[in-house]
Structure 1
Amino acid sequence: MDSNIYEVYQDEIQALQEEIKLLTEKYEDIQQEITFFSEEEILKSKESFQREMQGDSKGQECPSDLKVQLESLETDLSFLMKLTGFQFTSHSKKTLEKTGDRTVQKHRLSGSCYSLSFQLEFQLLEMQSKEKVSTAVTDLSIIMKSGEDSGVSKFVSSVEEHGNLITFFRSLSTYAEWYEHRRRTFLHFKTKYPEVVTLPEGLQGDYIVLRNPKLSGFELMIVWKIHMDKEGSTTPVLDLLTKVPEQVLEQKMARVGNVPAQFRSMVLLLGIEAAMENLIKVVK
């Protein structure tokens, strides 16, 4: 064979090999793009899968072990969602670097915990040695709607600085649970005592106002803060503010000044809901 023709073939083979390599890398990146679908999309996929299985088996039921496994997974997922309040709506990852003992992936994750939504973006560095595999989170960025809560903002900044995702999820679950509990409690009392309870900032606010329709100018404000420190510890803090006309104080409400202290004592003794209920009944 002529040497020139041989060299041409060699060049073409090499070019094809390079093209195959590039396509393979692109395919691997696409394969690493993972998406977690919503609950509605999961249910639709499940129904479609069941129809296909029924069609393939010509009317026969799915294997019992497959049904048991599917039901078990659904039960576990439902339990975890109820226990933690988390629902993940999307997640994707992309490999930025990969060598023999080092892998760097970029992750994007969004979801909600009860009624609080969040978005995360971070890089995951994985180092592999003969003894173990170690991982580290870097370039962590967190976006969440926490309003003007400075405690939450400081906590998020601390988590971003240290790249501690476990602390973020654990603390967010506790904070969001108190947040949801406060929202439901306000809704309960607004529904039960609409003539007494008002919500100036809506259900997402941190206080409710109690008014007696028969006493003009008389108001009690129950303030319910949810304090989160820099380490992620969450504590509910309740207080009572009073607004009472001077003539009422002089006549029948001389002891109103002691009501805030008495309310705080009731919270410690009876719990938040019972203390609020008793106060509302007094105002009513």
Structure 2
Amino acid sequence: MDESIFKDYEDEIQALEEEIRLLTEEYEDIRHESTFYSDEEILKSIKSFQREAQGETKGHQSPSDLKAQLESLEADLSFLMEFTGFHFTSHSKKTVERTANRTVQKHRLSGKCHSLPFQLEFQLLEMQNNEKVSGVVSDLSIVMESREDSNVSKFVSRTEEHGDLLTFFRSLSTYAEWYEHRRHTFLHFKAKYPDIVSLPEGLLGDFIILRSPKVSGLELLIVWKIHLDEEGTTTPVLDLLPKVPEQVLEQRMGSMESIPGSFRGALRLLGIEAAIENLIRVLGSGE
């Protein structure tokens, strides 16, 4: 046989052997990598997954836990509403403009502070400078039922002009507290002395009438105004106006004329409720 033919076979055999060697090395590499990942990396991955799963299990709350958390949040909200008197019934916002460092939103907010309803509309500009965020309120519009009072109207107008929401909420809270206190006081005395106390304008009025059960026609009008100045300071102002029959006035002019001054002195000394209580008792006794 020609030696050249053997040479060709030998070359082909060597090529096949080289290919087998390369395939064997590749197989060993693959098997080594598979063994490596199975013994160490896969085990490590399993343990890591178990830790994450345990963390998720711990973080997951049962329905009873979620219910308890919800009840706690509702209790906190109820406390804040009771403490501040504010109850918000609706809120909506619309983004008017948004860029990389500024956002303009229009807000509408309505609610009550104690028994006084209010509505707000305003535009809020938020600007971000590095890590600081600042806000500016503009186009503030306030609607309140008590705006018929000229003092409240002046305060609202000034607040709208300056866009001062913080002063509005702080002042409204104090004003509404006095408003509610007056209503409860009138209700208390009407329930306790129904034959003496009269509320011609109901509990939302700013005066009560005390009628003497002993002297026909003798009435004492207690006027209780709640003054709110432009700065947002609330001041209760009380006064007494007697309505005395002519025959009684002729007999007891001196004592009748001194009643308003005595009442104002009792207010300073005893406070509102005690001063009214004392006046009702004196009126009821006919002294």
| Secondary structure, aligned partner of 2:146 | coil
Distance 1:63 1:216, change over 3 A: closer
AA matched with 1:153: S
Q: How does 1:104-143 map to 2 (within 5 A)?
A: 104-143=104-143
Q: Structure 1 CA distance, aligned partners of 2:237 and 2:152?
A: 15
Partner of 2:63: 62
Partner of 2:198: 198
Deviations 1:40-91 (A, max 9, x none): xxxxxxxxxxxxxxxxxxxx96253x34532331222111101111100000
Residues matched between the structures, number: 224
Q: With the length of structure 2 as denominator, give the TM-score of the two structures.
A: 0.75
Deviations 1:79-132 (A, max 9, x none): 110111110000000101111111100100000001100000011001111141
| Secondary structure, aligned partner of 2:222 | strand
AA matched with 2:232: G
Partner of 1:71: 71
Partner of 1:84: 84
Identify, as 1 or 2, the structure richer in helix: 2
Partner of 1:207: 207
Pairing 1:258–2:258 present: yes
Partner of 1:184: 184
| Secondary structure, aligned partner of 2:217 | coil
| Secondary structure, aligned partner of 1:204 | coil
Gaps of 5+ in 1: 1-59
AA matched with 2:95: T
Distance 1:240 1:113, change over 3 A: same
Q: How does 1:1-284 map to 2 (within 5 A)?
A: 62=63, 64=65, 66-146=66-146, 148-252=148-252, 254-284=254-284
Shift of 1:163: 0.5
AA matched with 1:265: G
Deviations 1:135-193 (A, max 9, x none): 10010000010053111111111110011111101100000010001011101111111
| Contact residue 178 and residue 236 of structure 2 kept, 8 A | yes
| Secondary structure, aligned partner of 2:247 | helix
Gaps of 5+ in 2: 1-60
